[in-house]
Chain A
Amino acid sequence: MDLSHSPEEEEFRARLRQWLGRVLPTLPPKPSPDDWPGRRAYDMGWQRMLYDAGYADVHWDASPTTRLIFLEETEKAGAPYVGAGFVGLLHAGPTIAAEGSEEQRARWLAPILRGEEVWCQGFSEPDAGSDLAALRTRARRDGDEYVVSGSKIWTSHAEVADWCELLVRTDPAAAKHRGITWLALPMDAPGITVRPLRTLAGSAEFAEVFLDEVRVPVGNRVGDENDGWRVTMVTLSFERGTAFVGEVVACRRVLRELAAEARKNGRWDEPELRRRLGRLNAEFRALWRLTQWNVSEAEASGGVPGVGGSVFKLRYSQARQELYDTAADVLGPDALDLDRPWVLDRLSSLSYTIAAGTSQIQQNIVAERILGLPKGR
């Protein structure tokens, strides 16, 4: 067991740190959380800077350890989060890289890396959330095109996306998991209506997407027709396996800020609260170690992260909610003021045990796929 880094890795870290120190002060001010066009421009601008400096493909081509260093350093330095680039960089891109044709990789990967194209994820439907394979959005083959009709829901930042990783049913007669296909849907195609939905935090973070006879070239299909479920599992393993890594570093920073705030407002003298912060320190240290363990394991086995991601996601989503509940205790009555720091974070943390597969579903996955317990009905 080794937690030290090679000279090359340390050199990468030092170079990155230096670069961050130079460019971060030049960034424009962050747009408001409600301003999605503004956020898109900001996040893509940042991605372009990473690209120009040679850091853009760190999520895909670099070794997992290098990626870990990248996420650690950017977060520590307070660099922008992937934001609108989340789906493209962290799961659609890696899926296309792993499963797409040569032509598809050439068409879609570079614009993601250069911060030119934003992706969203069209998996969930009104009647197919946890039971994702129950999806009903249909795609009928018509010559060189699929004609798609149906609707998607909870599609994060759909209004500013150029592309959507879309799951459709291509064979209604096949068994539930069999007749599904993974398509890249251009969001400007005729027949698409995006209706923003307001989240409990008050902003339009996600949307409903209606598809009415939308024509998608057959060449936009990743993987074989009716083989989309397998491709989806690849996407989800990226989503759960590596997509949250940087956030653990962020939580550790928030914890230090909370301790400082508690010392300022006198709550630090309450042993119970102080010890809760200590307990959370243990929690996030352990989650960081688990991240390093999982990354080393992925590095040893090569390629797609395994179901161990579900173990991490379960614990992390719960810890993150505890963190912001504790923040509320540190703040006292100020925790009811939306203008105070951490209050919006507390609201958004409520989604963590739901989005990307609920905690109940993750527990089923751990029990059935890791522990080998029988499948329930």
Chain B
Amino acid sequence: MRFQLTDDQRALRDGVRALLARRFDREALWAAVDSPGRLDRALWRELGEAGFFALRVPEGDGGVGLGLPEAVLAFEEAGRVLLPGPLVATHLAAGAVPGAADGSVVVAGVDGALVEWLDAADVVRGDAAGAVALRSVDPLTPLHRTPAVAVTDPVAVLLTAAEQLGTATRACELAVQHARTREQFGQPIGAFQAVKHLCAQLLVRAEVARAAVYAASVTGDPADIAAARLLADEAAVRGARDCLQVHGGMGFTWESEVHLHLKRAWVRAQRGGGRTESEELLAAELAA
């Protein structure tokens, strides 16, 4: 047993991180916020060329031929930078929907009673008949409600958990950065225990979630996946909230990116039947 990233996995993660830093920096993030509903097709294709969508498609079928652990690492990075778009749906469609794998086609999917990015997508999987647009709380995720309720693939739940883990990690970094530099009463606010303890809990939740998400990617076990989603949702939602608290008034402004993390975490927490479904699955597993 060596439950640590391999050198190849580390390299893959660093590669995705570098690509995203180059192609989706803060400026690009705010440009996306300023043009709601528009998906950057050039970036989508670049992700496709880098293998983001074809990561788990077998090499014989023109894919990268890697597994769930690698996909989870890539989605964690996407989550960290708030990369917009129906990433999970397109990734799951690779190999099944022509053009999804190389990023030339954008695929949206019905998940529960919601569809993300319906108008921007070329292909929609699932029954989106009668879909009604919402005024989405997340400026980076257009949403529709659908009357038909679709069941979610456990892999989609896991990849979402990986994105949540990215948000949790980023929220911890942002909070710690701010706590180190912002001064009140003549010292950095991070010297105050109340702030310190918020930051410590941010890290604890993120690390517990990380262990659960990575393990679920190795085992692929449905109960492990359900556990990973519960822990990752908590780490992302509570983490972004506490990060906002650490930022004080600045955290409540539109200009700080903190609210974007919280809103995206809320959107992701609705996927895959929400918390209820995962809790019921884990309860049933106990009684089995």
Enumerate chain A interface residues (CB-CB to B < 8 A). 1-6, 9, 65, 68, 255-256, 259-260, 263, 268, 274-279, 281-283, 285-287, 289-290, 292-293, 295-297, 299-300, 308, 311, 314-315, 360, 362-364, 366-368, 370-377
Contacts and interface: CB of A to CB of B under 8 A. Distances in A.
Give chain B's interface secondary structure class.
helix
B214 interface: yes
Interface in B202-239: 203-204, 207-212, 214-215, 217-219, 223-224, 226-228, 230-231
Given A2-B1, A4-B1, A373 B196 contact: yes
Interface stretch (B77-85, B128-136, B255-263, B274-282): B274-282
B286 A282 contact: no
Nearest to A2: B2
A368 B193 CA distance: 10
Given A2-B218, A375-B191, A360 B197 contact: yes
16 contacts: A1-B3, A65-B1, A268-B287, A278-B282, A281-B227, A282-B278, A283-B231, A293-B3, A311-B208, A315-B204, A363-B197, A371-B200, A373-B190, A373-B199, A374-B188, A377-B191
A367 B5 contact: no
B253 interface: no
A311 B207 contact: yes
Nearest to B190: A373
A289 B212 contact: yes
B218 A292 contact: no
B127 to A, nearest CB: 28
A4 B214 CA distance: 14
Contacts of A256: 286
Nearest to A272: B279
B196 A278 contact: no
Give chain A's interface secondary structure class.
helix
A368 B192 CA distance: 11
B140 to A, nearest CB: 28
A297 B211 CA distance: 12
Interface in B169-210: 172, 176, 179-180, 187-188, 190-193, 195-197, 199-201, 203-204, 207-210
B176 A373 contact: yes
B6 interface: yes
Contacts of A368: 196
B249 to A, nearest CB: 21
Contacts of A286: 208-209, 211-212, 227-228, 231
B61 interface: no
Contact of B176 (A293, A297, A362, A371): A371
Contacts of A3: 1, 3, 215, 218-219
B278 A372 contact: no
A372 B1 contact: no
B203 A371 contact: yes
Given A1-B9, A279-B279, A363 B200 contact: yes
A252 B217 CA distance: 21
A279 B196 contact: no
Nearest to A260: B287
Contact of B208 (A290, A297, A299, A362): A290
B35 interface: no
B287 A296 contact: no
Contacts of A375: 191
B166 interface: no
A296 B211 contact: no
Contacts of B207: 290, 308, 311
A6 B1 CA distance: 7
Nearest to A65: B1
Nearest to B69: A1
Interface in B237-288: 276, 278-287
Given A1-B4, A296-B1, A373 B180 contact: yes
B211 A289 contact: yes
B4 A255 contact: no
A191 B4 CA distance: 51
A299 B201 CA distance: 26
Going nearest first, the 5 A-B pairs with the smallest beta carbon separation are A278-B283, A282-B227, A278-B282, A278-B279, A286-B212
A5 B199 contact: no
Nearest to B196: A367
B13 to A, nearest CB: 12
B146 to A, nearest CB: 25
Nearest to B192: A376
B194 to A, nearest CB: 10
Contacts of A376: 191-193, 196
Given A1-B218, A293-B211, A364 B193 contact: yes
A290 B226 contact: no
Nearest to A255: B286
A259 B3 contact: no
Given A1-B3, A290-B211, A364-B196, A370 B283 contact: no
Given A278-B286, A374-B191, A1 B5 contact: yes
A367 B199 contact: yes
Given A1-B214, A296-B1, A275 B200 contact: no
Contacts of B285: 278, 281
Interface in B35-87: 69
A289 B207 CA distance: 10
Contact of B286 (A277, A314, A364): A277
Contact of A259 (B9, B210, B215, B286): B286
Contact of A374 (B187, B203, B214, B226): B187
A377 to B, nearest CB: 8
B132 to A, nearest CB: 29
Nearest to B206: A311
Contacts of B203: 311, 366, 370-371
B211 A292 contact: yes
B282 A367 contact: no
Nearest to A296: B3
Contacts of B190: 367, 373-374
Contacts of B209: 286
B283 A274 contact: yes
